[in-house]
Amino acid sequence: MRKICLLLMLPLAVAAQQNKSTTGAQRMTAFKQQQLLLQQSPYKNLQWRLMGPDNRSGRSTDVVGITGNPNVFYAAFATGGLWKTEDAGTNWKPIFDKEATQSIGNIALAPSNSNVLYVGTGEANIFRASLPGIGMYKSTDAGKSFQHIGLENTGTIARVIVHPKNANTVYVAASGNEWTYNKERGVYLTTDGGKTWKNILFESEKSGCIDLVMDPNDPNTLYASMWNRIRKRWSDPMPEDGDYIYKTTDGGKTWKKISNGLPDTKLTGRIGLAVSHSNPNVLYAFVDDHNKKRDPNPGETDSYERQVQKVVIGAAIYRSNNKGESWEKMGEVHDFLKPFSGTYGWVFSQIRVHPKNENRVYAFGVEKAISEDGGKTWRVWDATDKQSEWTHGDHHALWIDEENPDRMIMGDDGGVSITYNGGAKWKNFFDEIPTTQFYTVAYDMQKPFNIFGAVQDEGTMSGNVSNTFGTAADTTLRPWRMAPGGEGTQIAVDPENANIVYASSYYGRLMRTDMSKGRREGTKQFKQFDVGRIDSLRGEWLAATIMSKYNNKVLYHGLQHLYKTEDGGETWKMISSDLSYNSKQRNGVYPYLIYHQAITAVAEGDKAGVLYAGTDDGRVWLTTNDGASWKEITRGLPYNKHVAKIAASTFKSSRVYVVLNDRRADNHTPYLYVSDDYGTTWKPIVANLPASPVNVIAEHPDNANTLFCGTDFGVYMSKDGGKKWIAINGTIPAAVSVNDLFIHPRDKKLVIGTYGRGVYVLDDLNSLQ
pLDDT tens-digit series, residues 462-485: 999 999 999 987 889 999 999 999
At 482-529, the pLDDT tens digits run 999 999 999 999 999 999 999 998 889 899 988 887 644 334 443 334
pLDDT at 18 > cutoff 50:
no
Q: How confident is the model at residue 19 (pLDDT cuts 50, 70, 90)?
A: low
Confidence (pTM): 0.95
| Predicted local confidence at residue 695, as pLDDT | 98
- 462 belongs to a structural domain: yes
At 79-93, the pLDDT tens digits run 999 999 999 999 999
487 and 365 in a common domain: no
Tell me 232's DSSP state: B
| One-letter amino acid of 471 | T
568-572, 591-595, 603-607 — which one is most confidently predicted on average?
Answer: 603-607
441 and 376 in a common domain: no
514 and 612 in a common domain: yes
C-alpha distances (whole Å) from 531 to each of 502, 580, 592, 594 are 16, 17, 16, 12
- Which of 603, 488, 470 has the alpha carbon at shortest distance from 541? 488
- 389 belongs to a structural domain: no
534 and 448 in a common domain: yes
| Predicted local confidence at residue 332, as pLDDT | 92
- 93 belongs to a structural domain: no
- 224 belongs to a structural domain: no
461 and 372 in a common domain: no
Q: How confident is the model at residue 1 (pLDDT cuts 50, 70, 90)?
A: very low
Q: How many domains does the chain have?
A: 2
Stretch 137-156: mean pLDDT: 98
609 and 524 in a common domain: yes
- Measured between alpha carbons, how far is 542 from 508 in angstroms, rounded to an integer? 7
Give the domain-ending residue among 381, 411, 428.
381
Share of the chain above pLDDT 70, in %: 95
| Predicted local confidence at residue 517, as pLDDT | 75
C-alpha distances (whole Å) from 117 to each of 120, 160, 176 are 10, 10, 22
| Predicted local confidence at residue 518, as pLDDT | 61
Cβ-count burial 46-67 (b if 16+ within 10 Å, e if not): bebbbbbbbbbbbbbbbbbbbb
- Measured between alpha carbons, how far is 349 from 608 in angstroms, rounded to an integer? 51
460 and 362 in a common domain: no
495 and 365 in a common domain: no
Stretch 184-208: mean pLDDT: 97
453 and 361 in a common domain: no
Query: How distant is the alpha carbon of residue 463 from its chain centre?
Result: 22
| Predicted local confidence at residue 652, as pLDDT | 97
- 8 belongs to a structural domain: no
At 245-274, the pLDDT tens digits run 999 999 999 999 999 999 999 999 999 999
443 and 328 in a common domain: no
Q: What is the average pLDDT score of the chain?
A: 93
- Measured between alpha carbons, how far is 557 from 562 in angstroms, rounded to an integer? 6
| Predicted local confidence at residue 411, as pLDDT | 98
pLDDT at 533 > cutoff 70:
no
Lowest mean pLDDT of 21-35, 59-73, 246-260, 293-307, name the range: 293-307
| Predicted local confidence at residue 305, as pLDDT | 77
- Measured between alpha carbons, how far is 541 from 231 in angstroms, rounded to an integer? 15
442 and 364 in a common domain: no
Cβ-count burial 290-302 (b if 16+ within 10 Å, e if not): beebeeeeeeeeb
Tell me 30's DSSP state: H
- Measured between alpha carbons, how far is 490 from 291 in angstroms, rounded to an integer? 36
Give the domain-ending residue among 381, 412, 427.
381
Cα three-residue angle 409-225-122, rounded to 5 degrees: 60
- 418 belongs to a structural domain: no
3-state SS record for 153-196: CCCCEEEEEECCCCCCCEEEEECCCCCCCCCCCEEEEECCCCCC
Give the domain-ending residue among 334, 354, 381.
381
| Predicted local confidence at residue 15, as pLDDT | 37
pLDDT at 588 > cutoff 80:
yes
Range of the structural domain that residue 598 is part of: 436-768
pLDDT at 6 > cutoff 70:
no
591 and 688 in a common domain: yes
- Measured between alpha carbons, how far is 324 from 126 in angstroms, rounded to an integer? 28
Share of the chain above pLDDT 90, in %: 86
C-alpha distances (whole Å) from 746 to each of 444, 450, 477 are 10, 13, 18
Other C-beta atoms closer than 10 Å to the C-beta of 281 total 15
For residues 745, 747, 749, 752, the Cα torsion angle rounded to the nearest 10 degrees is -60
- Which of 524, 463, 511, 464 has the alpha carbon at shortest distance from 485? 511
- 175 belongs to a structural domain: no
Lowest mean pLDDT of 113-117, 126-130, 373-377, name the range: 126-130
Stretch 325-332: mean pLDDT: 96
Q: How confident is the model at residue 12 (pLDDT cuts 50, 70, 90)?
A: very low
- 427 belongs to a structural domain: no
Q: Any idea what the CATH number is for the domain that residue 457 is in?
A: 2.130.10.10
| Predicted local confidence at residue 9, as pLDDT | 32
